[in-house]
Each structure stands twice: as C-alpha cells, then as structure tokens.
Amino acid sequence: MLDTLKNFLTGLGETDTMTEERPPLDKKLSAAALMVHVIVADGKITDAEEKRLNEVLGEHYAVGEGDARKLAEAAKDAQSEAVDLYGFTSILKAQMSDDERLALIEDLWEMVYADGNVHEFEDNVVWRVAELLGIGSRERMVLKQRVKARLDGTAPAT
C-alpha cells in the first residue's frame, strides 16, 4: 500500500504527453477569456450567453463561425485556468489601442446582457476589467447604457 501511495505521489508532477499544448495568450484569446469570465460570473452559462459569445467572437475577433467556436473553447480553457484577471488585461493593455479597449468593454456588456439579467457579479467583473484597462467609470457606464439602449431598441439612429 505504501508503494501505491508513493507511485501516485511521484506521478503527480508528471505531465500527460498526450494532451495538446495550449496556445499562448494573445489579444484575441485574452479578450475572449474575459468574455467567458463575465458569463460564468453568475455561476452558469445559458444557451443565450453561449450564442452571444460566439456571435461577438465571430463579428469582432474571428473569421468564421467555426473559428469563433474554437476561440470560445480555448477561452473557456484559459479562463478556467486563470488565477486572476491581470494576466489577460496586461496583455490587452499592451496590445490594444484605446478604441479597441473601449470596444472590448462594450463587448463585455454584451455578455452581461446576453441572458436578459444583469447579475451583480457580472457587473463587478466588467468594472474590474475596465479599471485594469485604464477605462474610467464614466466611459464604462456610457458603454453600458449604449448596449442596453441598443438591446431595448431605444438607441438613437446613427
């Protein structure tokens, strides 16, 4: 029995050579992981959130529907392994322009509203990400109102 325990403990440090190597974090994957972080903040991912995640990734970060699904899956893996938001936001702050960071916050609000419910944990994630990206409270709230108005059908015509 002692040998079994010793073998088990020895094997804990070994990595499985059959697993695929994870792609390095880049701008797209970091942004997608933050979107996933928002939709899991309330403890569940709804079909509506999953659908909207794939749509936003397809529209803003990937070429086609298949690529968007792959990016979403990689983002779920990256998000589940993350210990904090800083790993993602530091990459984005370095690689994104101010306009791209604002667009990301707008995308995060899209995730918050995807299931029709604004949960306080989701709202809090957007606030923390915005702060880490150097986006102030006023800009964050303007983007929130813009997304809500667009979804309510009350957004002014551009």
What is the count of structural domains for the chain? 1
Question: Which domain does 147 fall in, by range?
Answer: 24-152
pTM: 0.81
**pLDDT for the residue 113:** 96
Question: Residue 125 sits in a domain of what CATH number?
Answer: 1.10.3680.10
Whether 17 maps to a domain, the answer reads: no
**pLDDT for the residue 95:** 94
Tokens at 141, concatenated: 């709230």
Query: What is the number of residues in the chain?
Result: 158
**pLDDT for the residue 157:** 59
Alpha-carbon span 109 to 68, nearest angstrom: 18
Whether 67 maps to a domain, the answer reads: yes
Whether 11 maps to a domain, the answer reads: no
Whether 1 maps to a domain, the answer reads: no
Whether 60 maps to a domain, the answer reads: yes
Q: What's the rounded mean pLDDT across residues 85-114?
A: 96
Q: Which residues contact 45 (CB under 8 A, 6 or more apart)?
A: 39
